[in-house]
Amino acid sequence: MIEIKNVGKSFQGKEVLMDISATFEKGKTNMIIGASGTGKSVLLKTIVGLFSPNKGSVLYDGRDFHASTIREQKIIRGEIGMLFQGSALFDSLTVAENVRFPLNIHSDMSESEKDDKVNFYLKRVGLENAAHKMPSEISGGMQKRVGIARAIVMNSQYLFCDEPNSGLDPQTAWMIDQLIHEITQEYNLTTVIVSHDMNSVMEIGEYIMFMYKGLKIWEGTKDEILDAEPKELKDFLFSNKLVRTFKGI
């Protein structure tokens, strides 16, 4: 479980996050949604420790990340996996080497154990035949799947995804959403997804938090979201035809 408490962040005097609190539960697909420029990615990067908050705290199963020592943070980071918007695969490494990379850094496994684990996770994401390809030789959807395999190869407890299906066709985007959802349940992960894609929200969102101009405006489930009151959320939701169809308007 991840708790964020009263998190605030500003850049050069401009407040980007204002007093945000939320709880992301284990085994659930938690989603942070909102229009572009509302601070979703900044919040995600603050949660994973790429930014330090100006105030507030981020707790990983009770462990305050930003108040921890570097050694303690490194232990928590060993439990974190992250899928980036552009996949962020290392260009100079093959698919298998990318997945193996966190194992080389964090684990004491033998080479054969690492090989077995890499093969297992590549098979899990359906890429066992692409192990020796370079990232530039595979499609965007395959890159995302490699990113997922790399994110969970360390038996991660926490999975973060920044716009996991941006730039993908609807079918591949659906497949990536399903894969993230399955993996979350299969490995009982605490998954946090930043997205502005309402298709994803309606497919896999179990806990949803809506942000607007650095503020948390609403939280709830996908069953509740269509009847939510805040005007900002309604404006965001009903700009999407799929949601209008759901709602019957």
Partner 1 sequence: MRRLGEYILFLKKMFSNREPLTTYVRLFFQECINIGINSLFLVGFVSLFVGAVIALQMAYNIVSPLLPKYIIGLATREMMILEMAPTLSAIVFAGKVGSQIAGGIGTMRITEQIDALEVMGINSASYLVLPKIIAGMAMLPLLAILSAALGIWGGYLATIFGNLSPTEDYIYGIQNTFVSFEVPFAIIKAFVFGFIVTSISAFKGYNVKGGALEVGKASTDAVTASCIAILAADFILADTLLS
Q: Are 217 and 228 a contacting pair, CB within 8 Å?
A: no
Of 21, 23, 57, 85, the residue at the interface with partner 1 (CB under 8 A) is 85
Which residues 6+ apart lie within 8 Å of 224 measured at CB?
none
Q: Are 183 and 198 a contacting pair, CB within 8 Å?
A: no
Tokens read off for 189: 């992960």
Minimum distance, C-beta of residue 81 to partner 1, in the bound complex (Å) = 8
Of 2, 22, 80, 237, the residue at the interface with partner 1 (CB under 8 A) is 80
CA angle 183, 243, 203 (to 5 degrees): 10
Cβ-based burial of 66 (10 A; exposed 0-12, middle 13-18, buried ≥19):
middle
164 scored as a contact of partner 1 (CB under 8 A): no
Task: Write out the binding residues for partner 1, residues 100-119 only, by CB under 8 A.
Answer: 101-102, 105-106
Minimum distance, C-beta of residue 122 to partner 1, in the bound complex (Å) = 18
Helical axes 95-106 vs 111-124, angle rounded to 10°: 130
If the CB atoms of residues 98 and 200 are measured against partner 1, the closer one turns out to be 98
77 scored as a contact of partner 1 (CB under 8 A): yes
x/- track of binding to partner 1 for residues 50-69 (CB under 8 A):
x-------------------
Minimum distance, C-beta of residue 50 to partner 1, in the bound complex (Å) = 6
Strands 190-195 and 207-212: what pairing? unpaired
213 scored as a contact of partner 1 (CB under 8 A): no
26 scored as a contact of partner 1 (CB under 8 A): no
Q: What are phi and psi of 82, to 5 degrees?
A: -135, 135
Task: Give residues in contact with partner 1 (CB under 8 A).
Answer: 45, 48-50, 70, 73-74, 77-78, 80, 82, 84-86, 88-91, 101-102, 105-106, 160
